[in-house]
Amino acid sequence: MTKVAIISSSVRIGRNSHRVALYFKNYLEEKDIAVAEILDLKQYNFPLFDERLKFQKSPTADVIEFSDKIKAADGVIIVTPEYNGGYPASLKNITDLLYSEWYHKPVAISTVSDGNFGGSQVLTSIQFSLWKMKAWTIPALFPVPNVIDSFDENGNLRGGQLFEKRTENFIRELLWCIEAKSRMGNLK
Ligand SMILES: Cc1cc2nc3c(=O)[nH]c(=O)nc-3n(C[C@H](O)[C@H](O)[C@H](O)COP(=O)(O)O)c2cc1C
């Protein structure tokens, strides 16, 4: 079965974007679309980046585990909050930690805010960093404005057909890229 890793990026006390990570996990599993695992950066609590994993002499077990989980995933969903128009340090921390793990990896990005614009200003910066490492950032958007109004603490949608339709499209694009990649195999 398809494996999807969901990176929940906010490590903030009282964070709310984690609701969206829970929503995707529930959605993918309840509909039997994929096995989904949340890679929670708050739980990992990685130290501040000091070198890329491939150059670390004695990487910690949780860094190796994280890398292995990204490698093993057919696709990745990144859920990121918007902080002052950018993405959080916690996400930059693990973006730069990895390199080959991102290569040709289908990555879908969901941006989250408690304002009206759904964190959309974050998108190009995280997309660009991933693109530099040749990740395959998928051309579908999933901006979540007013996150608390839209999702409860367990990731349940608080009504709203808009999100249902948007989720369908977002996941369809991700699955298409995963399928396309599996048919193409690796670049020779
Ligand atoms: C340091 C900081 C900066 C923020 N900047 C923005 C912003 O530029 N635009 C916005 O819509 N929301 C902003 N927010 C609110 C977040 O969108 C809000 O906290 C949201 O729930 C997602 O982040 P969280 O998962 O950490 O809760 C900011 C929050 C913090 C903590």
The verdict on the CB of residue 149 being under 6 Å from ligand 1 is: no
Candidate from 15, 23, 84, 87 with most ligand 1 atoms within 8 A of CB, to mutate: 84
- Atom 14 of ligand 1: nearest residue by CA position: 83
How far away, in angstroms, is 123 Cα from ligand 1 center? 14
- 46 CB near ligand 1 (under 6 Å): no
Q: How far is the CA of 75 from the centre of ligand 1 (A)?
A: 26
pLDDT value of position 159? 80
- DSSP β-ladder status, 35-40 and 3-8: parallel
110 lines ligand 1 (CB under 6 A): no
CA distance linking residue 120 with residue 89, whole number of Å: 17
* Predicted local distance difference test score (pLDDT) of residue 109: 98
pLDDT of residue 188: 67
User: pLDDT 10s digit of each residue in the chain, 188 long?
Assistant: 999 999 999 999 999 999 999 999 999 999 999 999 999 999 999 999 999 999 999 999 999 999 999 999 999 999 999 999 999 999 999 999 999 999 999 999 999 999 999 999 999 999 999 999 999 999 999 999 999 999 999 999 998 778 999 999 999 999 999 999 999 887 76
pLDDT of residue 162: 82
Q: Are 33 and 171 in contact (CB under 8 A)?
A: yes
